[in-house]
Amino acid sequence: MKQRSEPAAMPAVNEVASLRSLFPPLTIIRLLIAWLVVAVFAIWGKQWLSEPFDSTIAVLCFLALFATIIMASFGVVGEADHLAHQLGEPYGTLILTLSIVSIEVILIASVLLGPGEFPTIGRDAIFSVMMIILNLVTGLCLLAGGLRYREQEYNAQGAVTYLSLITVLTGLALVLPNYVSGTGEFNFVQAVAFSAITIAVYGLFLWMQIGGYSRLFIQPKSGDMTVLASEAQMLAQDDEAPAALDKRAILIRSVILIAMILPIVLLAHDLAILIDYGIKIANAPVALGGVLIAIIVFTPESITAVKAALNNEMQRAINLCLGAFVSTVGLTVPAVLIIGLVMNKTVTMGISGVETILFLLTIALTAFSFIGQKTSPVQGILHLALFAVFSVLLFSS
């Protein structure tokens, strides 16, 4: 009898273990805390965040919102990372990047639609993301990976594709406005046209990235950087994918991912009010708002990218860093311009002369860093130095 009962019990045990793996305690705790904070601010938020502000309450509210959104962002990264392992590259990293960038767009839109006037918040956020992702995070990845493995291989064709998109889209969004108007703004026709062009280019890039050119964004085999090797690796992964694919797990992870993003959406407006208040009280640079948004949004993904470099997955680190910034420009620029047009808000996109120099240096350094087929830790040091220059100028210029 025992021999007959044991096989019958095994499926139930496996089912429980499978459910536990899909709903780990940390995920449940994150969801409960995030939605609890949403409920608290839905009930008492208007009372706490109405003028005149109580400084103590404002600080406590900011810390609570900041911590909750960071925690939820880590949850988003965790769920997207599980989907990444299920779906493989470049689909997994693409899901992670789009999830994170959507949070950035939500936060920027909340600031734009808030009570204050922040015409430069979109520009400041995009430029801050560029400095943080392309210099700080990329520098850490190159340095950490280089110190552990000396040299790391990646797919140079994919890196060049990212850099080409970054150069054109960012140049059109942040540099060109200074030369089409004296105020760094697009007029109605230009805003509509450049939004459409950006969306079209980014959409075509995504279609090619997940289609016939996905091989450009896959880690090449060690010692073989040819296209044929990349294609062979892609075909091998395609052959293995159906066996490892768990449709139920993908569905559940996707639902949890959305459940993690929603609290960020609901709390973003309250955080925007406090950022506005804090910048005014501290008499801080307006650009600091964009830096805060970049830090809030990209901290979890940055940690994931550095871990990938330490695991000798440099292509994944590149996909996360360069791909994140491509998505930032491809999604944020049209969103900011469209919000400005619909809500009749002033949107200033042109960066200053000093920022233009930092932009050109960053583009050039990133191109030199990924122009070969192996990374160098020396390049990482240079990226970190450039980020240090940006940090100094943020508070001293």
What CATH number did the domain enclosing 391 receive?
Answer: 1.20.1420.30
- pLDDT tens-digit profile of 12-31? 555 555 556 667 788 899 99
* CA 299 distance to own-chain centroid: 9
Q: Which of 127, 122, 125 is nearest to 355 (CA)?
A: 127
Domain that holds residue 138: 2-396
pTM score, whole prediction: 0.81
What pLDDT was estimated at residue 38? 94
What pLDDT was estimated at residue 183? 85
For residue 231, the tally of other CB atoms under 10 A from its CB is 12
For residue 163, the tally of other CB atoms under 10 A from its CB is 19
Number of domains into which the chain is organized = 1
What pLDDT was estimated at residue 10? 55
- pLDDT tens-digit profile of 169-193? 999 999 999 999 878 899 999 999 9
Cα–Cα distance measured from residue 353 to residue 182, given in angstroms and rounded to the nearest whole number: 13
How high does pLDDT run on average in the chain? 84
**Spans in the chain with pLDDT lower than 70:** 1-22, 89-90, 92, 114-116, 222-245, 397
Tallying the residues shown for the chain, one arrives at 397
